[in-house]
Amino acid sequence: MLSSTLSLNLATEPLIDVRQLSRVDHTGATQLLNPTDFALMPGARIAITGASGSGKSVFLRALAMLDAPVSGEILWQSNPVSSDMIPAYRTHVCYLSQRPALIEGSVLENLQFPYTLKSLRKRTFNLSVASDLMAKAGKDASFMDKPAGDLSGGESQIVALVRTLQLEPQVMLFDEPTSALDPQSAAAVESLVLHWFDAGAGSRAYIWVSHDPQQARRMGDRHLTMVKGVLQTGDEA
């Protein structure tokens, strides 16, 4: 009885709860994100579209706490996040940029890299998990030894995605991850994401920023639009 109430509570509690979050540019003159209230529930698949420069990335980066907001707060599982907890928060809420950044070395070394960081040091790299994910993207075992510098844009993005997904984050923030990719790599990225999402059995959530309406429909259950720093429900008016 008690356990069922608890799990019910967990399911209805937002993963990320944002109140009056806003950002201005560093000169303080331009409003990049108008004060925004937003709740990301477990199991949510949200797609955001909007013109370039409308503030989609600004919103995602603010959620990942990569840029400082001028107002508002971000609650993680109903709790504020203190400065020293931000790295740990980012291991649960991962931001993936449009331009994949890989370190010098092989694909394998890139996949092992996160485990050298202080906030993930207690966890260990699992080769079979990583290889499984790679296999889902159509990459065989020999791919692991390839130098990162020799990879195509699509391959690099797949490596960056697997590097993040193997950590099993609860929330993913995708910032146009496939906009520079060939259709085949884009399909691999989408299927990896759906696999990660389904493996969470409703406990995980993501926000996908895209400029492609078809992809937004495919990847999102709920569709939001960013217009000049204002997050709006539904399609562009």
Residue 88 sits in the site that holds other proteins (CB under 8 A):
yes
Which distant-in-sequence residues (6+ apart) come within 8 Å of 28 by Cβ? none
User: Taking the complex as a whole, how short is the minimal distance between the CB of residue 64 and other proteins, in angstroms?
Assistant: 6
CB 198 within 8 A of CB 23: no
Q: Which of 15, 65, 181, 207 binds other proteins (CB under 8 A)?
A: 65
C-alpha–C-alpha distance, residues 15 and 13, integer Å:
6
Neighbours of 14 (CB within 10 A): 17
Question: Rounded distance, CA 18 to CA 76, Å?
Answer: 9
CB of 98 to other proteins, least distance (A): 10
| 218/226 Cα distance (integer angstroms) | 18
Give 5's DSSP letter.
H
Residue 97 binding other proteins, by CB under 8 A = yes
Q: Applying CB under 8 A, which part among 2-10, 81-89, 186-194, 220-228 lies near other proteins? A: 81-89
> Do residues 233 and 38 lie in contact, with contact meaning Cβ atoms separated by under 8 Å?
no
- Record the tokens describing residue 150, joined without a space: 């020799």
Distance CA 175, CA 95 (A): 7
Distance between start and end Cα atoms, the chain? 46
Q: Are strands 45-49 and 205-209 parallel, antiparallel or unpaired?
A: parallel
Which one of the spans 9-17, 30-38, 162-170, 188-196 is the region binding other proteins (CB under 8 A)? 162-170
Q: Is 70 in the site for other proteins (CB under 8 A)?
A: no
Q: How far is the CB of 132 from other proteins (least distance, A)?
A: 20
| Mask for 100-139, x = binds other proteins (CB under 8 A) | xx-x---------xx--xxxx-------------------
CA gap 56, 65 in Å, rounded: 14
Query: Using the rule CB under 8 A, is 67 a contact of other proteins?
Result: yes
180 binds other proteins (CB under 8 A): no
**The binder of other proteins chosen from 24, 41, 86, 129 (CB under 8 A):** 86
Paired residues of 205 in beta bridges = 171
Residue 90 binding other proteins, by CB under 8 A: yes
31 binds other proteins (CB under 8 A): no
Q: Find the binder of other proteins among 33, 94, 161, 186 (CB under 8 A).
A: 94
Q: Is 87 in the site for other proteins (CB under 8 A)?
A: yes
Q: Is 153 in the site for other proteins (CB under 8 A)?
A: no
Chain residues binding other proteins by CB under 8 A are 25-26, 64-68, 83, 86-88, 90-91, 94-97, 99-101, 103, 113-114, 117-120, 160, 163-164, 167
